[in-house]
Amino acid sequence: MSSPKTVSIIIPALDESELLPVTLAHLWGLRPAPLEVILVDGGSRDDSAEIARRNGARVILGAVKSRAAQLNAGASIARGDVLVFLHADTWLPPDALGLVTEALTDRRTALVGFVSIMCGRRRTRWVTSLHNFVKTWYAPLLFRPWRFLRYGLRLLFGDQVMACRRVDFQACDGFDEGKHVMEDAWLCEKMNRHGRVRMLPRCVFSSSRRVDRWGFWGAHVRYLSLGLLWGLRQTPGASVRRFYDDER
């Protein structure tokens, strides 16, 4: 089967003016380069949208402040055969798009991501990075063992980047906008109906700003609490969402 030819990169943003110039310059340096970069702004009070325009991105304004809704809005106008959902504070290896499109030539694979290394200004969060790596396997094995063993369900999260064929994303109706957190985990389950979920053996680098702000134990209590709610098929309430203090 021939490789998908074009890639659209979709970035949800909220007050990301500090990081966007570096992120966007990096994306246009990928080989192969993306067909387009789409930034979906969730109501930034800074000049994120103008920075994105100056750096060659298509911009959607007025999206609901919700990562799921923002990502769906970007996907709705994307023209690429493959959709790559990327956080504004995550950086891809130079050959990332070639790796993604090659992996998605296999129709048995529906969704792919990368190994995420969490980095801050002064340190690399090795323990958090290891936990993110391991939970890709242990969370579905504990809570969805049949899908893990029979259908290749793995859990990918936004920091790991997520890529899929546009037709499959449309067929499963995209991200669930009723899920204000863990929207990435819920998408993995939906996409798993179309094929296995895979982590590619390459690294991306993501900002550890959340962990730096919350502290190691505060961050992991949040992550494990949300993971447990996903495992029990519960939607976090407003109080839990405030506890998570979401950033786009």
Report the 10 Å Cβ neighbour count for 47.
13
User: 4 falls in which pLDDT band (50, 70, 90)?
Assistant: low
Domain count, the chain: 1
Residue 213 above 60 pLDDT?
Answer: yes
CA 78/CA 70 separation, integer angstroms = 13
Q: Is the dihedral of CA 88, 89, 92, 93 positive or negative?
A: positive
Residue type, 154: R
> How confident is the model over 193-222, as a mean pLDDT?
92
Residue 22 above 60 pLDDT?
Answer: yes
Residue 69 above 60 pLDDT?
Answer: yes
- CATH of residue 97: 3.90.550.10
User: 1 falls in which pLDDT band (50, 70, 90)?
Assistant: very low
CB contact at 8 A, 183 and 94: no
H or E element at residue 78: none
Parent domain of 14: 7-244
Q: What is the pLDDT of residue 246?
A: 52
CB contact at 8 A, 14 and 41: yes
To 10 degrees, the CA torsion angle through 229, 230, 236, 241?
Answer: 100
Mean pLDDT of the chain: 90
CA 44/CA 134 separation, integer angstroms = 34
Q: What is the pLDDT of residue 225?
A: 87
Task: Say if 121 falls within a structural domain.
Answer: yes
Residue 110 above 80 pLDDT?
Answer: yes
Task: Say if 1 falls within a structural domain.
Answer: no
Strands 58-60, 36-41: parallel, antiparallel or unpaired by DSSP? parallel
Distances (CA, A) of 217 to 28, 166, 176, 212: 36, 37, 29, 10
Q: What is the pLDDT of residues 30-45, one digit of tens each?
A: 999 999 999 999 989 9
Q: What is the pLDDT of residue 243?
A: 53
Report the 10 Å Cβ neighbour count for 152.
17
Question: Phi/psi of residue 36, each to 5°?
Answer: -160, 155
Question: Phi/psi of residue 7, each to 5°?
Answer: -130, 130
Both structure tokens of 134: 């391991």
Q: What is the pLDDT of residues 156-196, one digit of tens each?
A: 998 999 999 999 999 999 999 888 788 999 999 999 999 99
To 10 degrees, the CA torsion angle through 139, 144, 150, 151?
Answer: -80
Q: What is the pLDDT of residue 181?
A: 83
Residue 240 above 80 pLDDT?
Answer: no
Task: Say if 69 falls within a structural domain.
Answer: yes
- Report the DSSP beta bridge partners of residue 39: 11, 59
Report the 10 Å Cβ neighbour count for 172.
18
Q: What is the pLDDT of residue 182?
A: 87
Q: Which residues of 186-221 are buried (b: 16+ CB within 10 A; e: fewer)?
A: bbbbbbbebbbbbbbeebbbbbbebbbebeeeebee
Q: What is the pLDDT of residues 214-224, one digit of tens each?
A: 899 998 888 88
Query: Of 72-81, 214-223, 232-241, which one has max mean pLDDT?
Result: 72-81
Residue 57 above 70 pLDDT?
Answer: yes
Task: Say if 2 falls within a structural domain.
Answer: no
